[in-house]
Structures are given as C-alpha cells and as structure tokens.
Structure 1
Amino acid sequence: MKRILKRIGLVLLVALLGLAIWQHELISYGYMQAKGQLHIMLNTRPVAEVLADANVPDSAKVKIRLIGEIKQFAQDSLGLDPSENFTTFHDQEGKPLMWMLVGSDRYALTPVQFSIPLLGTFAYRGFFDKTRLLEADSLLRKQGYDTRISGIAAYSTLGFFKDPILSSMLSRNEGDLAQLIIHELTHGTLFIKDNLEYNENLADFVGDYGAERFMAYKYGDTSAVYRDYRAGLAFWERYTQHVVRGSQLLDKIYRAFKPTTPVAVKEAMKWKTIGQIVTAADTITDERSANRLPQRRVSTQSKLPNNAYFVSYLTYRKQQNRFKTEFVTQFNSDFPRYLRHLKQTYPSL
C-alpha cells in the first residue's frame, strides 16, 4: 500500500511540475496579482476608524461619507446588490494602484484576448507590477500589436474580496465619483463570463444613469450642479457617437486592405484617418461650465491614439444606445424592473 501511495504521490508531483512549466506565465501572473491584492487587503482601515481619525482632512471625510450615500442610494433606489464593498479605506500614498494593458491588431479593431481562469476572457490585462506591465507591453509591440497603457481608477473583485475606497477616488467631483462607485457596484451585481464588452457597457450605462439620479436626489433637478452634470453626460454621449463613427470608418478602411497592400500604404491611410478623427473631435459642443473640462477626449498634445485606444473605448461605450433604448422603450424607464430582467436573462458569475 505504501508503495502504491508513493507512486501516486510521485505521479501527482510530476503532473504538478509539468503544469507549472506549461503554465509558467499564467502562474507567475496570478502570483503577482495575488500579491498586489494581498497588499491592499493588509493595508486598509475600516471607514469608521478613518472618519474618527483627527489626522484625516475634513475634505477627505466629506468624500468618504458621500461614497456611503452613493452606495446606499444604489441599493435602495436602483436595486443593486448589498455588499461589504467600500466599507474600508486604502491610502495609496500618492502612488498608482495598478495599470491596464490593452492590445489590438495593427490593421483591425480586434483586441488581444487574455484568459483568466474561472472568469473567462478579457480584452485587457491588469498589472500591479509596473516592470511586468512594461515587459508585457514590449512583448505585444514586438509581436506587431498596437498597445495602450492606462491607469485604473478602481476595479471590482466581483464579490471575492471586500473592495475598499481608494484614496485616489477622493479627488473626483461628486458626479464622477457617483458614476465610478455605481459602475463598480454593478459589476458586483451582474457580471457575465466571457462577455467583457457587455459587462463594461452595462456598468457604464448604469453608472451614468445612477449618477444622474443621485445628483438629482441630492441637489435637486433644478440645481446648477445637476444641470452641469447633465451637460457632461450629453457631451460624452456626443463624443461616444463620434468615436463609434470614427471606428466604423477605420474598420471599413482596414477591411479594404489586401494581402498585397504595402505596409507603407496601410500606415499612411491608418494615421491619416485617425488624425482626421482626432481633429474633428474638437468640434464637439460642450455646454458644461469651464471648471468641468473633458477628461477623456482624444488628445493631440503627445501622439495620435492607435487602434488599442479605439478598442478600449468601444469596450466600455459602444453599446450605450442599445441599453438606453431597451430601458426606455421596453421597461418604461423602470430601472429596478429592468435590472431584474437582466439578472434573470443573463446568469451572473
């Protein structure tokens, strides 16, 4: 019996070693992410403790209390699931929390897909370690992909852990903060495996709608701050339509390329078109007050955005009209009923 058990143990050990070699990169990435998540978990404080701390600025406490209001509103008025999220606080000490890497085909708006066990495939990958981030970015670029690196303002662990309030959140204005919190709470309520675009578009739709309702609830629908927030939503709706139209134009150009089309011609047509999209973005009307300037508009100050920018933007915003139309026409703008429909129709993780 002992000999049999030893043989079984040896077979299992060899199998585990083989798996570790075969999936070395995935295991290494998982270790990095687990280490980053553990660091956050070990360096959080209960919100009640932070609010009682005389060394914490009153301005920070105001925003922390506001997050509590937003969360309660999202549960009571929107029907999002109750959770322990945003009941703790993590001080980033002025450092970035993590970064997101997006890759795209160089001549097609096709994202690089990253697989995460249990959760499915994603059109981006998050990194707590900047060195690993830059290595992964360099590898994708060497393989011929367009890439984009951006900071992450918040993320959801989908109920696996208690998501904290991050110190970087506190620099946001009320409307942007409400949108962010409700977006993340939506992920904790409904998240469909292998359908990242749907998940992010839904969370953005609920975030926009919920933040607008929260601002009306808190300040009144005739207040200047509410009207300004509405003007911001209108601006980003026009901007999204502009990016979607631009993406459709790019896609049409890319599909017209033939295997014999010279790379120089592809490059020239690609960047000329992207340049036109960027230039035309400056004509989008913005009725917000001067102190609420756009933060997500394509910029020409450094370099033109590549395909990874458009892929990333579409992942979050492409389906906004679909959700809005369905919500208004089929559910008469009754959000709790609409949310129940979504949860019944799309089984969540």
Structure 2
Amino acid sequence: MRLLLGAGAVVLVASLASACSPMYVIRAGIAEAKILRARRPIPEVVLDPATDERTKTKLTFVVEARNYAISEFGLDVGRSYTSFTQLESDTLQMVLSASPQDRLAPKTWWFPIVGRVPYKGYFNEDAAIEEQRKLEEDGFDTYLRPTAAFSTLGWFADPLLSTLLRLDEVDLVETVLHELSHNHLFVKGQVRFNESFATFVGRAGAIEFFCNRVGGSPDTVKCLRAQARWRDHQRFEGFIDGLVEQLEVVYQDTALAYETKVAEREVIFDRHLEIFANDVQPSFEASTYQGFLVTPLNNATLLTRVRYNHRLQDFQALLEREGDLRRAVQYLKDGVNGVDDPFDLLPVGTVDPSAF
C-alpha cells in the first residue's frame, strides 16, 4: 500500500473483522460485498468488444506482472488480481490517521486479524470527516486521504479496481506488485515493516519486470523510468529520516513544555519544506513528490510517509547482497518468525540522514 494508494492493504480486512461499532462493520461488509459481486474475470474484460484499448492494454500488463511475480519472485499471490471491478467513483475509501502534536506516536486501532494498525478506513466520507473532527478537537494531528487499492491479505480473491487504471504502466506494475506482496508476507502488528517491504517489492520488482521481461531491456524507457523512480524513493527516504531525526530532538526533550515543542516543530517543518523545494525535489529524476508540498505537514502526515519509506536503502542493500529479488524476499520470509523486529533482518547503516 503506497501513499498514492493509501492504506488500503489492510484496512479492508480490518474493517470486516473489527471489534468496532456494529454499524461500522456492516457498512464495510456491504461495500466489500459490492466490490466482490461486481468482479469480472480479466480475460473476459479484455476480450469484450466494449472494452476500450487503453483498458485492455493495462489489464494485460496487470496479468503479465502478476504472472511474473509468481514465476520470477516466488510470490504466493492466491487468486488476487485475476478479476476486475469497475467502481462507480475514483475513490475506494477514505483512510484516517492521527498522532499527538508533541510526539511521533501514531494513534492505533486494534483489529482481530491484523493486530494493531495506525489507520482506519471509511467507505462513508462524511463519517470519516466526523471522526477526523473529533480527533482534532482532542488535540491530534490528522491526515485523511483517499485510497484507490487494497489487499485483503488472501482472505478474498481481490479484484483489480478501475481506480488503478488511471496510473501509467510503470506505476501500475509497482502498485500490483506492492499489493500482491502483502499476500505473500504480512507480519501481524508490524505495519511499518509490511508497508516498507511492499514498497521495496513494488519498486525493485518493477525494475526487474520492465528490464528483463520479454520485450524489455535495460535501455527501454520503462526500465529506465522504473530505475529512476526507485532511486528517487530512496532519496526521499533520506530526506524524511533527516526530518524525523531533528523532530525527535525536540519531542524527546523532557525539559520542554508541550506548547514549546509544538512551536519548535513548526520551525523545523517550515525549514524542511524549504529544503525540499529548493534542494531535494530538483534532485529527483522521475518523480516530483508534489504532494509533500501540497499536503499540510504535521505528525500524522509525516508518520504516513515514514510508514511506507522506512529503511528503503537497507532493503536495497539486502537486494544487492542476495543477488536478486526472489532470494531477498525468501530471506525475509524465512527470517521474520525468528526476530522480534523484522527490520533486524536488514543490513544496517546504509542511510545517512545527516546529509539532509
């Protein structure tokens, strides 16, 4: 689940299995039932004369990427993305995150299947806005955003949603691999690892797909773009790590009052927005991360960035050590049950936040 997608990867299954209010569960169940009922096999959609060529091309890419994930990366993807659902709107659901203003500590919600997660999904936008208002009245930073994709972690045969077809081919393949990776490896209660792992698989996997697939090569436009986007993502992680490091100096200072911490963080936020616009963004090769400048910067939005971008350069170091993505993924899957923190499986020290 990437930022572009929102936190859809576990919100759906969490919604259906939650110990939240009965009305919340009922609404989530009805929405999921509608999505599943509207599924059509992708081959049927592709062969349908009424399907436009753009949709056919992108669905063909999805099938090819799914097959590649199975054969080349060894992912266990179940029946996900063998069908297609046309949605009535461009937004699947709204996802709400929150954090206290004086520390980087996400508010969490507990769900039986996936454990404690730092977001909550809503199929009703008015309900999401109302919950956001209540949290802000209680002094929380909040971040409410749309999501266009989800994974039920293999509980259902997730269809590809029409909301994803607006993406270009590289972004679409990254998204498909990202979501499918959740079916293969999901560690209960380890959201930051799960999402960063999926970011890694999506980005690095897209490179292997476009550079090595039949018809692809290291000098094709899509191969070069996938490589550039992965480098940009790692640069962005370094910038975010530097911002977090400076905030933690303030937040962990027990001598500072709440009001002082909040005031000083605003100075840090403003300075880093300027650094991003003047120094970091111009260094990107294929991405802009314009949303970082457009979305109000607070602890909730920052934690969402961290959630999907933690230790990406260390994931890359693992990839280089193991030699290919299949072996890197297998190494992590074999090792997660033997450690308390799955990030301990990664090589250490490849990121220098002070550079930002």
CA gap 1:266/1:172 in 2 versus in 1, 3 angstroms? same
Question: Per-residue CA shift, 1:85-123, capped at 9, x if unaligned?
Answer: 111111123331111111111111110011011220101
Q: What does 1:189-208 correspond to in 2, within 5 Å?
A: 189-208=184-203
Paired with 2:119 and 2:258, the residues of 1 have a C-alpha distance of: 30
Distance 1:203 1:241 in 2: 18
Whether the 8 Å contact between 1:99 and 1:151 is mirrored in structure 2 is yes
CA distance in 1: counterparts of 2:139 and 2:223, whole angstroms: 45
Shift of 1:211: 0.6
Q: What is the alpha-carbon distance in structure 2 between the residues aligned to residue 206 and residue 250 of structure 1?
A: 29
- 1:198-219 deviations in Å (ceiling 9; x for gaps): 1111111111110111110243
- Picking from 301, 319, 322, the partner of 2:311 is 319
Report percent identity of matched pairs.
25
**1:118 counterpart residue number:** 113
How far off is 1:150 after superposition? 1.2
8 Å Cα contact 1:186-1:203 kept in structure 2: yes
State the shift of 1:310 in Å. 0.9
Q: Which amino acid aligns with 2:207?
A: E
- Give the equivalent residue in structure 2 for 1:176: 171
2:222 corresponds in structure 1 to 225
- Alignment CA distance shift 1:184-1:28 (3 Å): same
**Number of residue pairs aligned between Structure 1 and Structure 2:** 317
- Of the structure 1 ranges 335-344 and 52-61, higher mean CA displacement relative to structure 2 is found in 335-344
TM-score under structure 1 length normalisation:
0.85
CA contact (8 A) 1:201 1:317 kept: yes
1:13 is matched with none
Aligned to 1:342: 332
Question: 1:305 and 1:328 mapped to 2: Cα distance?
Answer: 34
User: Partner residue of 1:139?
Assistant: 134
Query: Distance between the aligned counterparts of 2:56 and 2:25, measured in 1?
Result: 34
Alignment of 1:91-110 (within 5 A): 91-110=86-105
Matched position secondary structure for 1:107: coil
Q: CA-to-partner distance for each residue in 1:169-222, whole Å, 9 max, x for gaps?
A: 111112111111111111000111111111111111111110111110243101
Counterpart mapping for 1:50-129 below 5 A? 50-129=45-124
Q: CA contact under 8 A between 1:257 and 1:266: conserved in structure 2?
A: no
Pairwise CA RMSD: 2.1
CA distance in 2, matches of 1:151, 1:201: 19
- The 10-residue stretch of structure 1 (30-39 or 63-72) with the greater mean CA deviation from structure 2: 30-39
After the TM superposition, which segments of 4 or more aligned residues of structure 1 sit over 6 Å from their partners? none
Q: Which secondary structure state, in structure 1, belongs to the residue aligned with residue 292 of structure 2? A: coil
Q: TM-score, normalised on structure 2?
A: 0.83
Match of 1:46 in 2: 41
The separation in 2 between residues aligned to 1:286 and 1:345, in whole angstroms, is 35
CA contact (8 A) 2:94 2:147 kept: yes
Give, in angstroms, the shift of residue 295 of structure 1. 4.1
- Measured in 2, the distance between the counterparts of 1:151 and 1:108 equals 25
Number of the residue aligned with 1:11: none
Task: Give the SS at the match of 1:237.
Answer: helix
Consecutive unaligned residues in structure 1, runs of 5 or more? 1-22
Larger of the two Rg values belongs to structure = 1
- Aligned amino acid, residue 42 of structure 2: V
The structure 1 residue matched to 2:292, chosen from 284, 289, 298, is: 298
